[in-house]
């Protein structure tokens, strides 16, 4: 990416992040950057917003970590 394009992209992300903060979205700069990149690739922004809302609503479903190794037969 040439320096001018990189500067423009950085300024655009800064502006989007500022608007995101004003709207109190709770998105960090990295997450916002990923979402913008996905939109640039053609993903539907409304569908992405729905996914973000759903992920925030669901409790973590990761399995509990074992504190001791399982016993072998």
Give the per-residue pLDDT at 72: 59
pLDDT at 44: 97
Domain membership flag for residue 11: yes
Nearest to 49 by CA among 23, 68, 22, 69: 23
CB-based burial, 22-45: b 16+ in 10 Å, e otherwise: eeeeebeeeebeebbeeeeeeeee
- Rounded distance between C-alpha atoms, residue 55 and residue 51, angstroms: 6
Instruction: Give the residue among 71, 73, 30, 34 at the shortest CA–CA distance from 51.
Output: 34
* Residue 14 within a domain: yes
Determine, yes or no, domain membership for 44.
Answer: yes
Flag whether 19 is in a domain. yes
| Domains held by the chain: number | 1
Task: Quote the domain boundaries for residue 49.
Answer: 3-56
Would 25 be classed as within a structural domain?
A: yes
| pLDDT tens by residue, 10-68 | 999 999 999 999 999 999 999 999 999 999 999 999 999 999 999 988 776 666 555 65
Specify if 70 maps to a domain. Answer: no
In a domain, 64, yes or no: no
């Amino acid at each position: 990416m040439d320096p001018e394009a990189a500067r423009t992209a950085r300024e655009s992300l800064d502006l989007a992040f500022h608007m995101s903060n004003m709207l109190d979205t709770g998105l960090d700069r990295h997450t916002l950057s990923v979402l913008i990149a996905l939109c640039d690739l053609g993903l539907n922004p409304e569908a992405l917003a729905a996914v973000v809302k759903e992920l925030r609503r669901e409790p973590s479903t990761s399995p509990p970590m074992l504190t001791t190794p399982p016993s072998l037969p």
